[in-house]
Amino acid sequence: MKLGMIGLGRMGGNMARRLIAGGHEVVAYDRDAAAVAALAKDGAEGAASLDELAGKLPSPAIFWVMLPAGKITDSVMREIADVAKPGAIVIDGGNSFWKHDIERSKYLAERDMHFVDVGVSGGVWGLTRGYCMMIGGPKEQVDLLDPLFATLAPGIGTVERTKRSQSAHQWKAEHGYVHCGPAGSGHFTKMIHNGIEYGMMQAYAEGFDILRGRANEELDTSYDLNLSDIAEVWRRGSVISSWLLDLISIALADDQSLSKFSGRVADSGEGRWTIDAAMEESVPVDVLAASLFARYRSRVEESYADQMLSAMRFGFGGHVEMPQ
């Protein structure tokens, strides 16, 4: 398939490269001409403007937007609507707020265009590992886009199959992507995914902080534990093994003190939106709320646990810490 990729940052650029490697044609656009030139070296066709990009796409044109949530995505969506023809499909693969998706879907529908929201998880490792995708939008268009999702997704891989997967025919979820429902449902699901991520990261960070604190000689019993070894052994057969623990092990193998991280932990919005959704639904979310507030506290008084959170965020997404 041929599509336009708009936004060639850490995620967009690597997603385009994975699509190209999978045999798709990508027309690339970014306000940073150097990013377009770099992707052109990897097989993309460059475009100097959205208008030029639109002119290079077949009908129905597919525009995949990978930009920060908020005003910049809103602006680009409207620019696309101005240059695209009826029938075009506009995909938002960033971390947009799900209620904005509903508004964008209506805006594009009034112009005979289709909107698809895709919550994407995979970070900077997605180029080789693949991307987990949660998709919202009309079924006809989502089905049309299936070859793109199949290429981007991790595939079945080595994950143990369930009874359902063994009996289901072409069950997309076990390949790493799922059509969640109408507009907004993809980003809503990804929002909850990220809220859970906050809680998991906080649990790991606090646990390793306790392990490190046992080296205090003022305690009745002290242990100078090798945190790198502990992280490594927990990766193998433990019930708390995960990709996050893999990233912790990598960070600790490099430097157990995590000295390059100050511990001022940023939040990208999804944690806050998750708590808002829980309040709307009257659902108690003690762990998720506490993990969000812990990030706020980290900007006033840092700890080793906060350094661990920063190390994990950098490990999976290349996220930098908040400035002093």
Catalytic residue numbers?
190, 197
Q: For residue 80, which phi and psi values (nearest 5 degrees)? A: -65, -45
- The conformation of residue 59, written as its DSSP 8-state character, comes to S
Q: Are 115 and 185 in contact (CB under 8 A)?
A: no
Q: Are 47 and 29 in contact (CB under 8 A)?
A: yes
Distances (CA, A) of 94 to 9, 174, 199, 251: 11, 22, 21, 26
Give the burial class of 114: count Cβ atoms within 10 A of its Cβ; 0-12 exposed, 13-18 middle, 19 or more buried: buried
Cα–Cα distance measured from residue 93 to residue 310, given in angstroms and rounded to the nearest whole number: 24
Q: For residue 221, which phi and psi values (nearest 5 degrees)? A: -130, 125
